[in-house]
């Protein structure tokens, strides 16, 4: 892809110097590394946004579910019973 845009930023001179030195030691142009960092950041942000949308849709689907819910106390009791069965080595089929 042709490079047509210029991106200018202000940063501390020691950060710039250290970055250029590390880029040189890795035998990579600093501009290439910055482009890669930018692409990775964009990808991560998109993934976070997509996951957030998916998660919110799952929550909304649960809220919209017409089936009756389970009370917190009932769920705790069922969970405790399952933990106890596992701890004693009993399978569900033995009940």
Number of domains observed in the structure of the chain: 1
pLDDT band at 88 (very low <50, low <70, confident <90, very high): confident
pLDDT in tens, 11-55: 999 999 999 999 999 999 999 999 999 999 999 999 999 999 999
- Residue 71's domain comprises 13-89
Residue 75 lies in a domain: yes
For the chain, percent helix, then strand, then coil, each to nearest 5? 70, 0, 30
Please say whether the beta carbons of 6 and 16 come within 8 A: no
Does residue 4 fall inside a structural domain?
Answer: no
Structural domain contains residue 82: yes
pLDDT-derived band at 69 (thresholds 50, 70, 90) equals confident
Tokens linked to 64: 């919209």
Assess if residue 1 is contained within a domain.
no
In a domain, 6, yes or no: no
Is 52 inside a domain boundary? yes
Is the separation of the CB atoms in 20 and 30 below 8 Å?
yes
Q: Specify the pTM.
A: 0.65
Helix 30-64 crosses helix 13-25 at what angle (to 10 degrees)?
100
């Amino acid at each position: 892809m042709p490079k047509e845009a210029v991106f200018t930023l202000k940063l501390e001179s020691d950060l710039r110097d250290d970055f250029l030195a590390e880029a040189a030691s890795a035998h990579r142009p600093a501009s290439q590394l910055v482009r890669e960092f930018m692409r990775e950041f964009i990808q991560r942000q998109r993934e976070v946004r997509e996951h957030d949308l998916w998660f919110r849709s799952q929550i909304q689907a649960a809220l919209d579910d017409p089936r009756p819910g389970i009370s917190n106390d009932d769920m705790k009791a069922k969970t405790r019973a399952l933990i106890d069965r596992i701890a004693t080595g009993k399978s569900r089929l033995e009940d």
